Amino acid sequence: MYKRKFSGRSRGARSGGGRSFGGRKSFGHRNGLNRQKARGMRGSFNPQNFVLEEKVEKPVEADTITHKFTDFDLGATLQENIAKKGYITPSPIQDQTIPHILAGRDVIGIANTGTGKTAAFLLPLIHKVAQNRDKKVLIVTPTRELADQIKEEFISFSRGLNLYAVLTIGGASRFGQKKDLKRGYNFIIGTPGRIKDFVQTREIDLSKFDSVVLDEADHMLDMGFIKDVKFLISRLPQKRQSLFFSATVGSREQEVMTQLLTDPITVSVKQRETISNIKQNVVYIERGSAKIEKLSELLSQKEVEKAIIFGRTKHGVQKISNLLVEKGFRAGAIHGNKSQGQRARTLSQFKNLTINVLLATDVASRGLDIDDITHVINFDLPATREDYIHRIGRTGRAQKSGTAITFVER
C-alpha cells in the first residue's frame, strides 16, 4: 500500500537547484555542495515536503497562441510536411520563436523538454537552408538520444527538399560519421565531444556555419561540457545566427550566452514543472528489505502499461533490468556503458512496446521525449529537486494522466 499519496502542481523555483522539496536549503548547488556530495545526502530527501508547496500556488494563465503554422513563411513543401504530421496550431515556444528565427535574430528560448522546441528551431532553419543551399547549421545537444531524435524530426520535416543532415555522436562508428561528412550536408547534429573531435581532425570546419543551436544547454553544462562548448563557439564565424535553448539560465549559462549571442531576444514559455495530471506516490520501504520484490509487485499491476524506472548508477540499472527480465518482465536498460547502437535499439523497442519497462540513469535519459508513458518509478532517490522534476516529467504529457512513484527507505 502507498503510505503517502499526493497530486497536483508544485511551485518550482525557476532557476532550480537552490531549494529542497520542502523549500529548505538542501542538497542543491547554491549552498556550496557539489553534485557528488549531494548524492551522498539522499537520506535527507523527504518527498512529503514537496507537496507543501502546492498549497501556496497561484494559478497561471496559459500562453496565448497568435499564429497557425500556415501563417509562417515556410515554403510550400515544408508546409505540406508539417500538415502531414497533423500540426495545425504551434506550441507557445514555436509560436513565439519561429518569426524571430526567420527574421535572423539571435534567440534565447527558455522552455522545458517536451514543449516543442525542436520544431521551433528546425522549421525556420530548414526553410532558410532550402532557400540558400550554401548555408550550414550546427545543432549541439547533450546526449546521443536527443541528437538522434532531432535528426528523426529533421528527416520528417525536410522530405522532398533534398537536404541532408549528419549525426556526429559518441558511442557510434567514427569511420561511418567521417564518411557521411564527405557528403554534401547542410546540417550537423551531434554531441559536443564528437563534434570537437572532428573539428580538431579538420573533418569539420566550423567557420563555414551560418547558424548554431545549443539545445538543452543547462543539461550540457551539468554534464561537464562547458569547455567543449566554448571551444566550438570560438571556431564559429563572428557573423552567424545563434539560438540558445535551456530550461534554466544561471551563471554558467549566462557565461556561455555572452560568448555566443548578439543582441538576442528572449522567449520564455517555461511550463510549471510538476503538472496536475501527474499523480505522485511515495512507497516507504524498510531498510534492507527487498526493493526489487516491491518493484515487481508494482509492475505487475494492470494499469502499468509503459514505465520508466530511474536508478542512480549504470551498474545498478543494468542489474535491475537483468533481474526483471529473469522474472519475466519485458525490460531493457539505457546507460553510459551501452554502445549507441544498443541504446538506440532499446529505445526503439520501448517506443513500439516490444519492451514496456525501461531502466535509465538520469544522464542517459536527458532529453528523451517518448509518448504514452504511464508510470515513472524512482527506484533510487533523485539527487536534486531538478532531477526529480526531470524524471517525473516523462509521464503525464499531452494532457494525459500519469503516475510517479518514489521509493523511500527508512
> In this structure, is residue 186 part of a structural domain?
yes
Positive or negative, the CA dihedral 202, 366, 360, 395 is: negative
Task: Give the residue numbers spanning the domain of 52.
Answer: 4-58+273-409
Q: Are 342 and 348 in contact (CB under 8 A)?
A: no
Which one of 223, 247, 268 terminates a domain? 268
**What is the rounded distance in angstroms from the CA atom of residue 272 to the CA atom of residue 128?**
33
Decide if 43 is inside a domain.
yes
Verify that 252 and 401 share a domain, yes or no.
Answer: no
Boundary residue ending a domain (268, 286, 320): 268
Q: Are residues 253 and 289 in the same domain?
A: no
**Residue 296 sits in the same domain as residue 211:** no
Please say whether the beta carbons of 304 and 374 come within 8 A. yes
Q: Identify the CA nearest to 124 among candidates 142, 106, 143, 112.
A: 106
Q: Which of 268, 300, 323 is the last residue of a domain?
A: 268
8, 143: one domain: no
Residue 64 domain flag: no
Q: Tell whether 20 and 81 lie within a shared domain.
A: no
Quick check: 158 and 74 in contact, CB under 8 A?
Answer: no
For the chain of 410 residues, list the mean pLDDT of each consecutive stretch of 10: 38 34 33 37 48 37 77 96 93 94 96 84 97 96 91 96 95 91 94 96 96 93 90 96 91 92 90 69 81 93 95 93 95 87 89 94 74 92 80 79 88
Cα separation values, 404 from 16, 139, 203, 291, Å: 20, 32, 45, 16
In the chain, the number of structural domains is: 2
Reference 214, options 304, 140, 115, 123; nearest CA is 140
Q: Are 68 and 60 in contact (CB under 8 A)?
A: no
pLDDT of residue 289: 67
Residues 11 and 120 in one domain: no
**Residues 255 and 303 occupy one common structural domain:** no
Residue 56: the pLDDT is 32
Q: Distance between terminal CA atoms of the chain? A: 15
Sort strands 375-378 and 331-334 into parallel, antiparallel or unpaired.
unpaired
Residue 276 CA to residue 105 CA, distance in Å, equals 35
**Per-residue confidence (pLDDT) for residue 274, from 0 to 100:** 52
Residues 109 and 34 both lie in one domain: no
Q: Is 333 within a domain? A: yes
Smallest Cα–Cα separation from 362: which of 398, 399, 327, 335? Answer: 335
Q: Domain check: are 227 and 208 in the same one?
A: yes
109: exposed, middle or buried (Cβ count in 10 Å: 0-12, 13-18, 19+):
buried
Answer yes or no: do 292 and 321 share one domain: yes
Q: What is the pLDDT, as a whole number, of residue 32?
A: 34
C-alpha cell at 150: 532531432
Q: Which of 47, 50, 112, 48 is nearest to 381 (CA)?
A: 47
Q: Are 236 and 105 members of one domain?
A: yes
Whether residues 211 and 333 fall in one domain: no
Residue 63 within any structural domain of the chain = no
Q: CATH no. for residue 76?
A: 3.40.50.300
CA-CA distance, 108 to 244, in Å (whole number)? 5
In a domain, 19, yes or no: yes
| Main-chain dihedrals φ then ψ at residue 220, nearest 5 degrees | -60, -40
Question: Please, which contacts does 69-75 make with residues 24 or more away whose CB atoms are closer than 8 Å?
Answer: 72/98, 72/99, 72/102, 72/123, 72/124, 73/102, 73/127, 74/123, 74/124, 74/127, 75/127, 75/130, 75/131
The pLDDT of residue 97:
96
The 10s digit of each residue's pLDDT in 231-257 is 999 999 999 999 999 988 888 899 999
pTM of the model: 0.68
- Look at residue 404 in the predicted model and tell me its pLDDT: 92
Query: Hey, CA dihedral for 347, 348, 351, 355, is it positive or negative?
Result: negative
The whole-number pLDDT of residue 271 equals: 58
Q: What is the pLDDT of residues 10-47, one digit of tens each?
A: 333 333 333 333 333 333 333 333 333 333 333 444 55
pLDDT score for 13? 34
